[in-house]
Structure 1
């Protein structure tokens, strides 16, 4: 069975690291459908290294009409995804709730949650027919236990993803489809560009391992949940936290 991976937020540090892992030594009929938004230049090296196995799409996930057009293009021009990995998120804005930015929160929900719902509705029927599928989201350790202060918008959006995962997991398990999350602790990527250095340093110092996570720490857990071997694991949120959040 040839695998087709649909990855949204593929231009992120995590997305590119995951693509490298998925395509390295993969059969030549393995295909990655990679979505980015205005930043597809980041995929140039991967496209060069894996010609014919990586197709890129520039899509604004905050626009519902563009998301719907995207899934129509995929249905017409690409094999049905066997795997769907949803990674997009806006950088965390650390701000007190009294300064809550409703417009930014609505944008977060569109990109992280509403686009995921629309794409899942498009790709899950083919997985049902195939009696196989893997769906994976990225959440956050902030949803495990007590979250840090001043992250209400981020925590609410990620909590919505957690609810979607549990609901889809129980509904689609009988069709051989698994739906899971990874929940990293603070990960040092471009995603932290708006986070003050003192907060990043404090998180590293507070982690039992004395550092923050990296994509290289998180991607192996993602790859496992996407694998054939993880076929009896569904509805879980797997912490990848160096011990800073334990369930």
Structure 2
């Protein structure tokens, strides 16, 4: 079977690691990656060269509902309908006390993470339902498991909304052979942390039972599993990838 993976936020470190994993773990399978970025597609140049003809890149500003609508209209036309949808985009975490809550930034992140997810799911789920097969995967955070750290209200609120969407879609679409899941990594040392003070990053590593923070290479295999045929009876779950720092 030919698989088409739509990966939004593909230019992130996690997105690149997942693409590399998907295209190397099953070299005999027919897999095409639709990789979305926003003004940063050059980050995927090395992968495009490594896997010629396997990755289709496109630029779309997910903070713009109009741009998301335009993207959704392309599926089944100049872009194939995805069999797999992985939604990764988010603004970098900003640690700020609630009294300094930035409503404009929160709204932008809501559009990028949540509103675009709703629109894209509405666009891709009908074809998956007709085919009686589909995989949908989101990235949450260990911050939504148990007690979150202080000064992360905006980030936790958006990620919690994603968790609610996952559970609702999982129940509604299970009968169509579609699974909907999340991975919830602990802190990963990527460019996503560029606005997070080093002391916070170092403290998270010291507090982790494994003595370090996560890497994209830790998370990509877990994501690939939830996207696989072997995970066909797993839906509506949030899988912690935390080195033991958050356990459910």
After superposition, the C-alpha distances for 1:34-66 in whole angstroms (9 at most, x for unaligned) are 000000001111111111111001000000000
Matches within 5 A, 1:48-197: 48-197=49-198
**Contact 2:2–2:29 at 8 Å: present in 1 too?**
no
1:96: how far off? 0.3
RMSD: 0.8
Give the whole-Å Cα distance in 2 for the aligned partners of 1:200 and 1:211.
Answer: 10
Query: So what's the TM-score if we normalise by structure 2?
Result: 0.98
Q: 1:197-222: CA deviations, max 9, x gaps? A: 00000000000111000001111100
> Please, which runs of 5 or more residues in structure 1 have no aligned partner?
none
Q: Aligned residue for 2:18?
A: 18
Q: Do the aligned partners of 1:28 and 1:53 also contact (CA within 8 Å) in 2?
A: no
SS in 1 for 2:45: helix
Deviations 1:95-142 (A, max 9, x none): 000000000000110000000000000000000000000000000000
Give the drift of 1:72: 1.4
CA distance in structure 1 between the partners assigned to 2:97 and 2:179 by the alignment: 37
SS of 1:77's equivalent in the other structure is coil
Instruction: Give unmatched runs, 5+ long, in structure 2.
Output: none
Aligned residues: 247
Partner of 1:5: 5
Write the distance in 2 (CA, Å) between the matches of 1:131 and 1:57: 27
> Which aligned runs of 4 or more in structure 1 are off by greater than 4 angstroms?
none
Aligned counterpart, 1:34:
35
Assess if the C-alpha contact under 8 Å between 1:187 and 1:213 holds in 2.
Answer: yes
